[in-house]
Each structure stands twice: as C-alpha cells, then as structure tokens.
Structure 1
Amino acid sequence: MQLLALALYHQDNRKTPRVLRFRPGRLNILTGESETGKSGVLAIIDFCLGRRKPGLPDNPIDRTVGWYALLVEFRDGRRMILARPRSAGESTNEAFVCSGDGNLGLPRADELIVNSNAAALRGEVSTHLGIEDFRFQPAVGAARYSFDVSVAQAALFCFQNQDEIAASHTLFHRQTEDGIEQAIKDTLPYFLGAAGPDQALRQHRLGEARREVRTAQRKLDAALRQREVLDTNGIALLRLAQSEGLLSDVPTAPDADTVQALLRKAITVPPLAPISSDIGDRRQELNEERRTLRAQLQEFDAALATVDRWQRRSFDFIGELHFQVDRLKTLDLLGPERDHDNDVCPMCTQPLEHPDPSARDIARLTDRLSKELEQAAGVQPVRQEHRRALQAQRDNLAERLKSNGLLLKELMASDENMARLQEQHLRAAHLQGRIAQSLAHDRPPTDNIGQLRNSLASVQEVVSVLEEHTANDDVPAETERRLADIAADMTPWARRLMLGQSTAPNEAGISFNSLKVVIRRPEGRLAQERVGSAKNYIGYHLVAHLALHTYLRRHNRPVPSFLALDQPTQAFFPSKPRDASAVPDADWSTVTEYFRLLHDVTELNEGKLQIIVCDHVNLPDGWFQDAVIGNWRPTDDGTRDALIPTDWLA
C-alpha cells in the first residue's frame, strides 16, 4: 500500500479542498519553512489509517478542517479512500471508507458521510494489505489483553515523527506510549515472516496447556497437603477417642484408610448412659437432719450447763449450811448461861436496844438447818442422776451428728465421682461431634488424588505433543535471523553516512529485546543511546528503517509500503530555522548524503517503497528537485504555500 493523495476539506463545503499528491514508488520531499504545517502531514496520514486520537495541533487545522481524506493504492491496483471527520473531542471513532479500481479518486466534499468506524476501516485496510485474520494471544499469565493483528500495528513501522527520529532511547513510532512497545515485540515476528497465525495458535495452545499443567499440579499439591492435614487431624482425633474410651487398640502409625475406618467406628460407639441419682435429695435430708441434731445438741448442752450450775450452787449452799450448823452446835457446850437474859449485855450488864436471840432460838435454828441439810443431801443423788441422763442423751446426739457428717462426706465424694463421670460423658459426646463433622466436611482425598494424578498426566502428555509440534517454531531465533538480514543492509549504509561506531569491524543491527539499534563490536555490544550526538541518533534511525522496509518489500510482507519521515536533518540546523537553505555553516555534504541515501534506497526497491520526507532542506540537485512535491516558502509575489491555504484563515 502506497499513498496517492492527502486531502483536507474545509468545514464550509463550498471551499476547494486542500490536496497534497504523492508519487508512489519514489522519494517525496515536502520542503518549506517552519510553522507551515509540514509535521501535521504525518499526523493526518496516521489518523486516516485508523487512529482514534488524531494528535493534531489545535490551530489552525482544528479551526478550519472538517474532514481528512487519504487516497491509497494497493499492489493489485485497487484503491481505497480512508476519510475521518474532525474530532469534536480528544478522540473519534467515525470514518468514511470507499473502495474501487484504479480510477477511484478523491471524493467531493458533499460525498463525505460517516459510513464506517475506525475498527472497520483498519479491518478493510488490513485485508487489502494481506494481513492474515488472527488474534494475538499474550503469554499465559501476562497482564495484557489479546488483540487483532491489523494495520494499527503495521503502521508503527511506517512513521518517524520529529521527536522520534532523533530519540536516543527508542527506535519505533509511538514506542514510548503505554503498551505500544510490547505490541511491537508481539507483532514484529509476524510482519518479518518469522511467525504466522499457525505458529501463534500453536504457541497459544501450548501456553494454555502449560497453564493447565500448572493448575493441575497446584490442585494435586493442594490435595496432597489436604490429605496430610487430614491424616494429622485424624490421628489426633483417634488419640483423643482412645483416651476418652471410645476406641481401644489404636495402631501407632495407621494409614489413611485405617484412620477413616476407626473414626467411623468411634462415632458409632453409644454414648455413656446419663447417671440418674437421688443424691441431691439425700444430701438435703442429711443437711436437714444435721441442723436438727445441732439444735438439739445445743439444747442438751444448755440443760447440762444449767444442771452443773445448780450442782455448784448446791455444793456451795450445803457447804455453807455445814459451816453454820457446825458453828451453832458449839452452843451445846453452854451450861447455865443458856438461860441468860438476852435483853442485857453479858459483858456490861447494860440493857440492849435490840435484844439478842436466845440460846433456845439458836438451838431451834440449828435443828431446822440440820433438817434442811439432810434434805439437801437427799436431793443431790437425784440431780446427779438427772445429769447423767442428760449427758447420755447428749452423747447419743453427738454420735448421730458424727454419723451424719460421715454420710455427708461419703455423699460428697460420690457426687464428685458422678461429676467426673458426667464430664467424661460430655467430653466423649463432644468428641464424637467433632469426628462426625470432620468426616462430613473433610472428604478423604484418596480417590480425588488419583483423579488429579490422572488429570496431570493427561495435560502433561498434551504439552509434550504440542512441544513436539512447536519444536520447529523457534520464533525468537527465526526473528533474530531475519533481523540479521536487515543488519546486512544497515551496516554499509551506516558507514556510508560515516556514523559514529560504524567503522569495521563494527556492525549495526536491531535488538529485538530492547527495540533499539545496537552496535556489535569485538569488545561487546554498544546500545543506541551510547553512540552519542543527534547526528548519529538520526542516522541510525534512518538506516534501520530503510533496511527494515527494504527487507519487508523484498519478502512482500503485509506492511504499508511507505516510510514517512519528519525533519531527518534537524541535527544540522538551529531550532526551527525559517529556511534551512539559508544556513551557511551547515554540513551540506552530510545533509546531501542523507537525502541521497533516501533516494538510492527507493531506487533499490524498484518502485515498491515510497518515502515521504518533511524537512526544511531544499537542495539544488536535480534528483532532489525531482523528488520535491511541495515547496512551502514565500513566492516572488509575496504569497506562501502551506498545509492550510491562506484564504481558509480569512
């Protein structure tokens, strides 16, 4: 596919379209001063090939243009019109597509209507280019999306914008944008012919099969780990069941099947019968009896204390009576004094205010006290007998209380034993529940492991078969071999331009891994960014793309047959020169050689390669002037041609 014409249609359909015509199979040079719109030409061509974002300057193009149209021609002579309306925002998906024979020309402004979209446009162009219909599948596990191989990727090899052709770290168009570098790596082998849809499909199937192997291996490993965990948990449950009396004679190292069988047996063991007893009632009766006995014992203790108190008082009273009686009995020793007048003091014979008792009265008192003493002595044995009776009853109560205490102690011991039995019953029931839950939720993976092993072996066999089929599909090696063929042209052309590090035995080439130019030297490889100077960066970009397109044309690969370059001589002139032809101190011999190489490469490809160059340079050489398709400089009448006509800006 080569370009025949580029047309810009004014928003006002009454104005004449701005048409820039190209010559296929030749060098096309668009020269002129700065700010005439030369760099916009490449962006418009790229947009017409299906880009959603036009990337065009806001003024004056965006203020005046309504449609962009590109007329292209394919190898078979078929033509297509690829037109895009001006984007109202940052992007647009609308398009106009028209196909025809060799008589198809640019449409009229009123014929441009939206009849397609960008994706369909790319699809039709891809079909005419001969790009096979297949979807690129990223490697399994890659954080990228699959995509349809189309002219969208092929066009990346056809443009070198002003900032790209002088880049030190990149080689291809839009390489610095997200995902573009990887897209180039993904599709370059196909466009070079090192891989096709069949290889891509086989590689994708192999990648899927390997993913299935990894998945099957993970499942098998997980099942084995699960079985190991189940075995460990099962053995632990077996030991607990043995300790709780649910099982006996558990093997020291049982296998998985034995573990499962024993666990099932453990849950079939009937639980211990609940222990029913009237211990609580009996304990209550004993406690009631104990309280009664203690109350009665306290009553007997009080009665004994009272008897003892009476006994002590009786002893004291009797002792006092004996003392008084004995003292009074001394009156029996009196003689005639017994009849002494008790109204007179026997010592002084004086009358007494209160007469003393007579001896006869004292004798009578003594007799009465003696009788009372005899009576008191008679009561003493009765009281002692009563105390002995009370003490016997009290001792009986104490013995009954002691027996009650022993019974309560025995009852408490029995109660503790019953609690231990009840606790054991609960532990056994809880353990049976755990075992049942384990058997219900943790299915023994023995059978499943066998299935997983079979599945793994099956997918491994598929991988082996696919690896045999793809053994000859060494895409990286084949890509490197074809890049070596490209390097065979790059090296002499780099020496022709006298680029840095190009002298023998050094060789220039393209690195597939880094997508950069590399210089292969005896002492080691030199990366593109280390060759130094803008002249070398631009020179190596030129020879790399010229050699790449020469290879593509030589092998009829489905990449558009044009190379569009913007400002390839910028390294030799100041920034934005008004007219490079007026710069006196430029290295004109080197500039001439750059363009001469472009001219010679188009001649070498015998009409199969079209090169479009936008630059400030306007060399006087006849071959250069024959290649000029536009000279956007002031004319003798003061007017100046440009991408946007002067009358459009009025």
Structure 2
Amino acid sequence: MSFSIKAIIIYSHNGKIREIPLRENGLNIITGKSKTGKSAIIDIIDYCLGRGAFNVAEGVIRQKVSWFALHLIRDQEEVFVARNNPGPGASVGAEVYLRRGKLESYPKLDELQKNITADALQKFITQFAGIIENEHRPETGTRRPLSANISHALFMCFQKQNTIASQDQLFHRMNEDFLPQAMKDTLPYFLGAVDEEHFLLLVEQEEVAKLLRTKEAAAAKVISTLDISKTRISRLINDAKRLGLLEQHIQPDQEDIIDHLKSLAEFRFDDPAYIPDFGETISELRFQEKNIQQTLGQLNHDIRAAKEFLSDQTAFSREASEQASRLKAIGLFKNEPENPDVCPICESTLSSPTPTVKEISQSLSEIEIHLREVHKESPHIQKYMGDVEGRILEQTEKLRGVQSELRRVIVEDERLRSIQNQLIERARFIGRLLAFLELVEPDAETEDLDGEISSLRQRLEALRSRINSDDTTAKMEAALNLIGKQMTSYSNKLDLEHSGSALRLDIRKLTVVADTDDGPIPLNRMGSGENWVGYHVLTHLSLHWWLRKRHRPVPAFLVFDQPTQAYYPSDIVDGSIEQIARDDDRRAVQSLFELMKKACEDIEHPFQLIVLDHAHLRDEWFGKSIVEEWRGDKALIPAVWPTLSQLSE
C-alpha cells in the first residue's frame, strides 16, 4: 500500500500558513479561473517529493512563498515534508525539513530548519511509497542497470496541462532525455510482472555466475598450464645448466625431470667470501686522483709564475745596470750648465731642457738601490722554485700510486659484480621455478574443480528457470491485457473517436493504441484535442485501477491539470457548463467528470484523484467533490501576502 496527500501547505515570508486539505480517497476538485495558481500544484507536489528542479513559473508564487510542504499519509503513518522556495530565477532549494509521526498542528515557519538532504529525501520517499530494492538489468548490456525509485513512479501520477492534451506524450516528463527508456525499464516492476523474490533471485544468480566464472577460469588455467609445461620445462632446464645449477646430461624429456626441478627449488645460496662495496672504493680513489691532479695543477702554476718573475727580475737587473753605467758619466761635469736649454757641447737649442747634475745623481742612486734589492731577492726565488719542483715530484709519484690502485680496484669490482649478478640471476631463476611448480602441481582447492563446476552450473540453471524471462513477459502481457480491457470499458463512457474499439497500452512506444478493423491506430493518429484528453484520462484511470488492485508501490494519487481545456473558451469566468457553446461539448465535459467519479468508485482505496480545472458543474456530487474554488480574490496565494522586498521596507 502506498501513500496519498492529506494536505498541501504553503508558508508566507511573514509566517502565515495556507493549507489546502484533500480527501484521502475519491475525487478532489480545485476549480477556479485562470492565473490563480492551479497549474503550480503539480510542480509543488513534485518538488516536495524529491524532484531536483523547482519548475514553478516566475511570478507571485516565487515572490511571496517561503516554504512549500506536503502532509502525507499511509495507513496510520504520517509524514510532513517541506522544502524552501529557491526564489525568483533559481532552479532548486537547498533546505529540506522532514518530520515523521502524527501531526496535531503544522510546524511554524521558524521551526522549518534543514534536517535532511535532497538526496536523502528522495530515498526516504521511495521507501515510504513501498518501493523495495530492485534493479532492471538490460539484456543487451549497452545500458547500465536501473533501480526504480519515486521519480519513476511519479511518471504515472501527474498529467500537466500540456501533457494531458498531447498526441505524442502520454506520460509525465516523457519529453526529457533518457526518461522514456527509464519508464520502459521500470514499468514491469511497477505493474507487478516482477516482484521482490525476482530481484533476490537475480542477486543470487549473479553471485553464482561470478563464482562459476572463477572456477572455470581456474580449470582453464590448469589445462593451459599442462599444455605449455613442456616448453617451459625445456626453457627452465637450459637456464639451470647455464647458471651451473644442473648437470649438462639432464634432459627435459626425462621421466624424473620434475623431481630434478623440485630439488633445484630447494637450492640454498652460500654467503660469498667477499662483499662488494658497489663502487665506493672506486669513488674514493677517483676523488683522491682528482685532488692530486688539482694539487699538481696548482704547483705547476706556481713554478711557472716564479720562473716568469725571475726572468723579469733578470731583465730588470740588466737594464738597470746599463742605465747606471750611462749615468756614471755625470762625473765628467763639475758645474751646472749656464743655460739648460742649450747643448753645452754643440750649443744647439734642445727640445727638452738638460737635466741638472743633481737630478742625474739622484736617478743613479735610485737605480743602484733597486739593483741591490734584486740581487738580494734572487736566492730566495731560486730556493722557492726548488721546493715547488720537489713537491711536484712527490705529488706525481703519489698520483701514479693512486692510479695504479684504481686500475686494480676496477678489475676487482668487475669480478665481484659478475659474481653478484650470477647470484641474482640464480635467485630469479629459483623464483620462476617455484611459480612453475605451483602451477603444475594442483593444490587441494583445484583437485575437485570439475565437481564444483558441475554443481554450480546445475544451480545456475535452476535459478534461471525460476527467473524465466518468458514468465515475466507473460505476466506483463496479462497485466497489459487487463488494463486494456478497463481502458476499453471506460472509453464506452466517452464520445471519442474509435470509442468501443479494443484499446491497449503500448509500453514499447508509450502510447495508446486502438485495434480496429482497419488495423492498429496509435494516439497520434486519433482525431483532435478532445480525443487526446479523453484517452489520457481513461488510460491513467485504468492504470491506477490496476496499480491499486495489485497494491503496487506507486503513490495512491493522480493529478489532472485542465482536462476540459479543449472545451472552454479562453475568457472563462465562473466555469459553468453553460459557458460552453456547443451541446456536444457540454455533454463531453459532463461525461468526462462522470467517468472520473465512476473510476474513483471502481478503484480500490486508497486512491485520490485531484483535478485542477476551470469547470464548475451544477451536479450535487460535483459540488461535494470541490475542495477549493478560486474565483474573485481567492487564489492559491493570498493577495495580502508580502514579498521579501515589501517586508524589508
């Protein structure tokens, strides 16, 4: 048994509460003029039951409402669920409030605080509707498995104004991508062609099939191993001989070859008498070599500099001696020249004045001082050069020793690496050998694979017979046949084109088909808007007749929005039937509501039919079915409710 709606509740921004009570069973009519908010009822219900998007049209409702809520009931269990109005321009609200248990009064606005996520709300409503764990698994494998939830169930609960008069779209939201296929996949579950036991068997079947695949893979592995073992044995024998682990006369085709391989698997490596340092000694010797070479380079640079200095000093001494010899001629002059600008010998005019005797004597004195300094430093430089040359010889000899040791260590290191590589290669060989022996020697788990595989195949076949797809198809056809008969019966109450023909619900194309003498006629080839509305109404009433008869987990309500739109003029005022000009149209409207009244009597409780329409018939039963009438100043949203901007003024 699923749930119905006890009331729709709306909160203003200043805390006022607007309650629209509904009867839990039977016909509920909300009638009124256009633009009073009737069409928003479906979007509000859909939103509060977990839909991700909020699709109420922009305008008064988005501006004046703070929260939307539903009071749901199933048997004696009650649930209050509310969602905040995302406001103008927004597509979804983030706040959800959920409360379980009997309600004496509705929560105040300040009590509505988020206590559940939108995803968790959808899961809760799915469970509250009675939808159990289920999963449709496409046979082709091109689509992922799909679990039916409340969103899929609601496809059968709403008929919006643009849907109920459509020739191409029979169910709610079937103009959205992927949803038609989702409905086709979930209908067998909702109509009862598959039940809870079916899904439990599917899970068991998957587990058994998975285990069977594992066992079959293990058996195939054993067979494959036996097929390739000869080639691998030959390769292992050759590798063992190459590594010195096996004598050369051993052949792969010997009867006891496995025993030989098993003995090799027990091979133990002796510890080597030496431990290679992996190049550390070589690195140290190369470092010493580099340092000695750098030292030699510096010493050679120093001795070159000393030799250059000594050479420069010798040249200076020679030049200075020559200068001194020339300057000593000053002794020939006893007196200063009378005119320094005239040569004292040839009496010619000089370009540069003749130096005085005093100046020449001073220059000679300075040169002699420099010569004495040079002669004093020369022995020191000679000694320094001898020391440097001695150090060069010492470092050169040291370099020869290091390089000799380096060559010896490199040879030894290569030998150690060769030994180590052989040990590593032997270890790898033993590892491959152990893996091979594990494969060719079946353990306890693989010894009885054939018996286990046979048992699992029998079990899987038994499960498949219990989940017979033909049986599911037969149940589906039976359900659709009975629904089709009810559709045909209801069509006799309406004056429709092809009325009285055998009607059926085509779930492959999600449409209504009339089987006539001239062949099948789908909905999109049936007459006009009046026919499309009539077939929508009788199809959904018949569908809910079956759902309630079989106690299926689809919400126990159905909402029709403007089913009489094709009959009333656009300037409708009071919705009276007299506003319809043609007699046959008035009869059609009367028949349409009488069919709804009869269906509510035929369909097992709980069932709630909510009709949002202009019409207001004069029949007493119609008046008793009205729960709200929005004419004059009355509407879904009271005119006195303020907007947020008005509250902030």
TM-score range with shorter-chain normalisation?
0.5 to 0.7
Amino acid at match of 2:504: A
Q: Does 1:564 align with 2:566?
A: no
Shift of 1:501: 3.5
- Aligned ranges for residues 75-94 of structure 1 at < 5 Å? 75-76=75-76, 78-87=77-86, 90-92=92-94, 94=96
- Partners of 2:536 and 2:226 in 1: CA distance: 61
- Partners of 1:227 and 1:516 in 2: CA distance: 60
- Aligned ranges for residues 4-403 of structure 1 at < 5 Å? 4-13=6-15, 16-76=16-76, 78-87=77-86, 90-92=92-94, 94-100=96-102, 104-118=104-118, 121=121, 129=129, 131=130, 134-139=132-137, 143-144=143-144, 147=147, 151-177=150-176, 180-213=179-212, 217=216
Q: Is the 8 Å Cα contact of residues 4 and 24 (structure 1) preserved in structure 2?
A: yes
- Partners of 1:614 and 1:501 in 2: CA distance: 27
Secondary structure of 1:96's counterpart equals strand
What corresponds to 2:536 in structure 1? 541
Q: Is the 8 Å Cα contact of residues 31 and 615 (structure 1) preserved in structure 2?
A: yes
Amino acid at match of 2:629: N
Match of 1:647 among 633, 637, 640: 640
- Could you report, residue by residue, the CA deviation over 1:546-573 in whole angstroms, capped at 9, with x for unpaired residues? 0121223334434332111112233446
Q: Is the 8 Å Cα contact of residues 549 and 604 (structure 2) preserved in structure 1?
A: no
Query: Bigger radius of gyration, 1 or 2?
Result: 1
Q: Does 1:623 align with 2:621?
A: yes
Secondary structure of 2:641's counterpart equals helix
The percent identity for this pair of structures is 30
Runs (5+) with no aligned partner, structure 1? 240-245, 266-431
Distance 1:166 1:441, change over 3 A: farther
What corresponds to 2:587 in structure 1? 589
- Partners of 2:28 and 2:537 in 1: CA distance: 15
Q: Is the 8 Å Cα contact of residues 577 and 616 (structure 1) preserved in structure 2?
A: no
| TM-score, normalization by structure 2 | 0.59
- Could you report, residue by residue, the CA deviation over 1:530-585 in whole angstroms, capped at 9, with x for unpaired residues? 445433333222112101212233344343321111122334467x6655764535
Q: Is the 8 Å Cα contact of residues 28 and 627 (structure 2) preserved in structure 1?
A: yes
- Could you report, residue by residue, the CA deviation over 1:180-225 in whole angstroms, capped at 9, with x for unpaired residues? 4455445444443443322211122224433554565567667766
Amino acid at match of 1:200: F
Q: Is the 8 Å Cα contact of residues 29 and 630 (structure 1) preserved in structure 2?
A: yes
Distance 1:135 1:556, change over 3 A: closer
Match of 1:508 among 504, 507, 512: 504
Secondary structure of 1:136's counterpart equals coil
What corresponds to 1:331 in structure 2? none
- Partners of 1:437 and 1:117 in 2: CA distance: 55
Q: Which moved more, 1:585-594 or 1:448-457?
A: 448-457
Q: Does 1:494 align with 2:491?
A: yes
- Partners of 2:522 and 2:457 in 1: CA distance: 41
What corresponds to 2:418 in structure 1? none
- Partners of 1:163 and 1:214 in 2: CA distance: 51
Q: Is the 8 Å Cα contact of residues 165 and 566 (structure 1) preserved in structure 2?
A: yes
What corresponds to 1:423 in structure 2? none
Q: Is the 8 Å Cα contact of residues 213 and 460 (structure 1) preserved in structure 2?
A: yes
- Partners of 2:260 and 2:71 in 1: CA distance: 84
Distance 1:29 1:237, change over 3 A: same
- Partners of 1:189 and 1:535 in 2: CA distance: 30
- Could you report, residue by residue, the CA deviation over 1:585-609 in whole angstroms, capped at 9, with x for unpaired residues? 5822222221221122113347632
Amino acid at match of 1:466: L
Distance 1:648 1:440, change over 3 A: same
Q: Which moved more, 1:226-235 or 1:86-95?
A: 226-235
Amino acid at match of 1:509: L
Secondary structure of 2:640's counterpart equals helix
Q: Which moved more, 1:523-532 or 1:533-542?
A: 523-532
Runs (5+) with no aligned partner, structure 2? 239-247, 264-425, 644-649
Distance 1:33 1:247, change over 3 A: farther
Shift of 1:71: 2.1
- Could you report, residue by residue, the CA deviation over 1:85-128 in whole angstroms, capped at 9, with x for unpaired residues? 22375343622324206xx3433334433334445555665666
Secondary structure of 1:474's counterpart equals helix
What corresponds to 1:415 in structure 2? none
What corresponds to 2:482 in structure 1? 485
What corresponds to 2:463 in structure 1? 466
Secondary structure of 2:86's counterpart equals coil
- Partners of 2:206 and 2:511 in 1: CA distance: 28
Amino acid at match of 1:81: F
- Could you report, residue by residue, the CA deviation over 1:428-456 in whole angstroms, capped at 9, with x for unpaired residues? xxxx9999999787786795987765554
- Partners of 2:449 and 2:533 in 1: CA distance: 58
- Partners of 1:117 and 1:219 in 2: CA distance: 46
Amino acid at match of 1:144: R
- Partners of 1:232 and 1:523 in 2: CA distance: 73
- Partners of 1:258 and 1:595 in 2: CA distance: 94
Secondary structure of 2:39's counterpart equals helix
Q: Is the 8 Å Cα contact of residues 235 and 259 (structure 1) preserved in structure 2?
A: no
What corresponds to 2:395 in structure 1? none
Amino acid at match of 2:606: K
Q: Which moved more, 1:220-229 or 1:151-160?
A: 220-229
Secondary structure of 2:11's counterpart equals strand
Distance 1:197 1:643, change over 3 A: same
- Partners of 2:259 and 2:525 in 1: CA distance: 74
Secondary structure of 2:587's counterpart equals helix
Amino acid at match of 1:643: L
Distance 1:645 1:258, change over 3 A: farther
Secondary structure of 1:641's counterpart equals coil
Q: Which moved more, 1:586-595 or 1:522-531?
A: 522-531
Amino acid at match of 2:200: L
Shift of 1:611: 0.9
Provide the aligned C-alpha RMSD in A. Answer: 4.7
Shift of 1:39: 1.1
